[in-house]
Amino acid sequence: MKKYSVLIVGGGSTYTPGMVLMLLSQLDRFPLRKIKLYDNDPERQEVIARACEIIIHEKAPEIEFLASTNPEEAYTDIDFAMAQIRVGKYAMRELDEKIPLKYDVVGQETCGPGGIAYGMRSIGGILENLDYMEKYSPNAWMLNYSNPAAIVAEATRRLRPNSKIINICDMPIELENHMATILGLKSRKEMDVRYFGLNHFGWWTEIHDKAGNDLMPRLKEHVRKYGYVEDESLYTDPKRDSWHATYQKARDILELDDAYLPNTYLKYYLFQDYVVKHSDKNYTRTNEVMDGREKDVFTACRKVAEDGHCHDDLFDVDNHATFIVDLATGIANNTHERMLLITENKGAIANFDPTAMVEVPCLVGKNGIEPLAMGEIPQFQKGLMEQQVSVEKLVVDAWITGSYHKLWQALTLSKTVPSATVAKQILDELIEANKGYWPELK
Ligand SMILES: NC(=O)c1ccc[n+]([C@@H]2O[C@H](COP(=O)([O-])OP(=O)(O)OC[C@H]3O[C@@H](n4cnc5c(N)ncnc54)[C@H](O)[C@@H]3O)[C@@H](O)[C@H]2O)c1
Ligand SMILES: O=P(O)(O)OC[C@H]1O[C@H](O[C@H]2[C@H](O)[C@@H](O)[C@@H](O)O[C@@H]2CO)[C@H](O)[C@@H](O)[C@@H]1O
Ligand SMILES: [Mn+2]
């Protein structure tokens, strides 16, 4: 079997050690000859890299390891770039969340003004990395899960239309894992799903088992009572409490429209007032992540480097990230596996903008991905999606043209923002906070 060379872009990410352990657990179906890390922050990557080097040396010494902040060295001789960058890191995410909250508007990583601000920072970072990949390994594929994936996908569709980049999100996968547990199935792969939407903005329309039995009635009965919480006793970690509330809130989203099962991110657009009321303006999700995941991962990495070896219980293997290997092997082996991916609509949702970047089931093969037809969607979902996709397109317009007005319109159109006046106040603060990260707006 061919052996692959993989570059993790954003090597200093909190997800890197779990991702490396996941890759090492999948070598029988995705054999590797090299694992490389690339980041533009040498100090941050160094801590993670020293631990990864020891882990790889212990578990698979035949795999070459290299961590670099030099784009040529990092991007030369790779087959896949797995991108997980966060331009501006947690310091900027914190502002994305806290600035809108000052105006009683949702403060969230990828939704509303925070997601727009993050999008304005991410576009340049992703383009820069895509260009390195095309220069140094022109046959490679970028599997991107850097956020906000919807805005990044629209930007690369417009600005790098021929690039080999596929954008993917783990939220539907995580929720399908919950569904499988609720149903008592061994794996989400025992379900055949139909789904449509935008990234962080979608619905499951059908879920069947492999014998063709409809699983929706049982799932809806559970979600009506408990949301996507499979088992209350699993939620003992206070650092994940806000996820617990998010899974529970699916109850109310289903009550509003019980035709389909919703993605949990819809809560930010449908229950904005509830979200703001339950947010702590001084301690947001970023603070939870910095006090939780970031501290845990960096402490564990320093311990591995000090001890010179890795104890098995130090890191969680990112098992649910095996979808990235599914995607890579789908391309490498032309498997035509069906996966939920972000792609240009091109009629997959019949009554929706053909140029919109939508999230639908696709077939994965050697030449990329092909969306499957999901048919027509109802007025409620269509209306919501048209508004949100217009926000995403206006952000990309603003980034390309440097237009203050386009970005003001984008914020005003976001369902999370109450008026053009509030949109302008938030925008003006975000511009100050993002100096050096956004193109200059006129
Ligand atoms: N699509 C999904 O479903 C999904 C799931 C989880 C996380 N994510 C995304 O993964 C990313 C990483 O998340 P995290 O919480 O681990 O963040 P993190 O801040 O720990 O790591 C991101 C790394 O990216 C680096 N970086 C920033 N700009 C860069 C650039 N231009 N080139 C190279 N490296 C750069 C930073 O220095 C940092 O080390 C985020 O974009 C997050 O939103 C996506
Ligand atoms: O607030 P964070 O940084 O913990 O998570 C933000 C990301 O949330 C989603 O991914 C989740 C996943 O759905 C969750 O269940 C768990 O497995 O962790 C993942 C990462 O935290 C979302 O899909 C991403 O786009 C967000 O970046
Ligand atoms: Mn996501």
Query: What single string gives the DSSP state of each residue in 211-255?
Result: T--B-HHHHHHHHHHHTT-S-GGG---GGGHHHHHHHHHHHHHHH
Ligand 2 center to residue 58 CA distance, Å? 29
Angle at 17 between CA 339 and CA 25, to 5 degrees: 55
Query: Which residues sit opposite 141 in a β-bridge?
Result: 80
Residue 155 has pLDDT above 90, yes or no: yes
Residue 377 has pLDDT above 90, yes or no: yes
Residue 263 has pLDDT above 90, yes or no: yes
Model pLDDT for residues 296-332, shown as the tens digit of each residue: 999 999 999 999 999 888 998 888 889 999 999 999 9
Residue 103 has pLDDT above 70, yes or no: yes
Query: Please, how many CA atoms are within 13 Å of residue 371, restricted to the half-sphere of its CB?
Result: 24
Kindly state the average pLDDT of the residues 123-142: 98
Ligand 3 center to residue 61 CA distance, Å? 33
410 Cβ contact list (under 8 Å, min separation 6): 116, 391, 394, 395, 398
Report which bound ligand comes closest to the CA of 200.
3
Token couple for 269: 């657009």
How far apart are alpha carbons 201 and 198 in whole angstroms?
5
Q: Given the structure tokens 């001789």, which residue do they identify?
A: 77
Model pLDDT for residues 25-62, shown as the tens digit of each residue: 999 999 999 999 999 999 999 999 999 999 999 999 99
Angle at 151 between CA 150 and CA 152, to 5 degrees: 95
Residue 336 has pLDDT above 80, yes or no: yes
Q: Whose CA is nearest to atom 1 of ligand 2?
A: 285
Kindly state the average pLDDT of the residues 171-183: 97
Residue 313 is predicted with a pLDDT of 86
Residue 238 has pLDDT above 80, yes or no: no
Atom of ligand 2 minimally distant from the CA of 149 = 25
Confidence of residue 239 (pLDDT cuts 50, 70, 90): low
How far apart are alpha carbons 217 and 226 in whole angstroms?
14
Confidence of residue 231 (pLDDT cuts 50, 70, 90): confident
Q: Given the structure tokens 């092997």, which residue do they identify?
A: 329
> Helices 89-102 & 112-136, crossing angle to 10 degrees?
150
Phi/psi at 139 (nearest 5 deg)?
-95, 0
Residue 233 is predicted with a pLDDT of 78
Ligand 2 center to residue 171 CA distance, Å? 7
Protein residues with CB under 6 Å of any ligand 2 atom:
109, 147, 169-171, 174, 285, 289, 320
Kindly state the average pLDDT of the residues 104-118: 98
How far apart are alpha carbons 385 and 387 in whole angstroms?
5
Residue 113: which H helix or E strand, with range?
Answer: helix 112-136
Atom of ligand 2 minimally distant from the CA of 320 = 17
Residue 240 is predicted with a pLDDT of 62
Residue 177 has pLDDT above 80, yes or no: yes
Examine the residue annotation and report whether 265 is marked as an active-site residue of this protein: yes
Residue 236 has pLDDT above 80, yes or no: no
Report which bound ligand comes closest to the CA of 152.
1
Q: Whose CA is nearest to atom 39 of ligand 1?
A: 12
Atom of ligand 1 minimally distant from the CA of 11 = 39
Cβ pair 261, 219 in contact under 8 A? yes
Q: Whose CA is nearest to atom 3 of ligand 2?
A: 289
Count other C-beta atoms under 10 Å from residue 336's C-beta: 12
Protein residues with CB under 6 Å of any ligand 1 atom:
9-10, 12-15, 39-41, 44, 84-87, 89-90, 125, 128-129, 145-147, 149, 169-171
Ligand 3 center to residue 171 CA distance, Å? 5
- Calculate the alpha carbon distances from 411 to 122, 197, 423 in Å: 17, 20, 5
Local structure of residue 293 (DSSP, 8 states): I
Residue in 265, 268, 318, 326 annotated catalytic: 265
Model pLDDT for residues 385-431, shown as the tens digit of each residue: 999 999 999 999 999 999 999 999 999 999 999 999 999 999 999 99
Residue 235 has pLDDT above 80, yes or no: no
Model pLDDT for residues 68-97, shown as the tens digit of each residue: 999 999 999 999 999 999 999 999 999 999
Examine the residue annotation and report whether 428 is marked as an active-site residue of this protein: no
Q: Given the structure tokens 């914020």, which residue do they identify?
A: 411
Average model confidence (pLDDT) for the chain?
96
Cβ pair 174, 146 in contact under 8 A? no
Residue 237 has pLDDT above 90, yes or no: no
Token couple for 145: 């899960």
Kindly state the average pLDDT of the residues 268-277: 98
Concatenated DSSP letters of 41-108: -HHHHHHHHHHHHHHHHHH-TTSEEEEES-HHHHHTT-SEEEE---TTHHHHHHHHHHHHHHTT----
Residue 176: left (phi > 0), alpha (psi -120 to 50), or beta?
alpha
Ligand 2 center to residue 286 CA distance, Å? 12
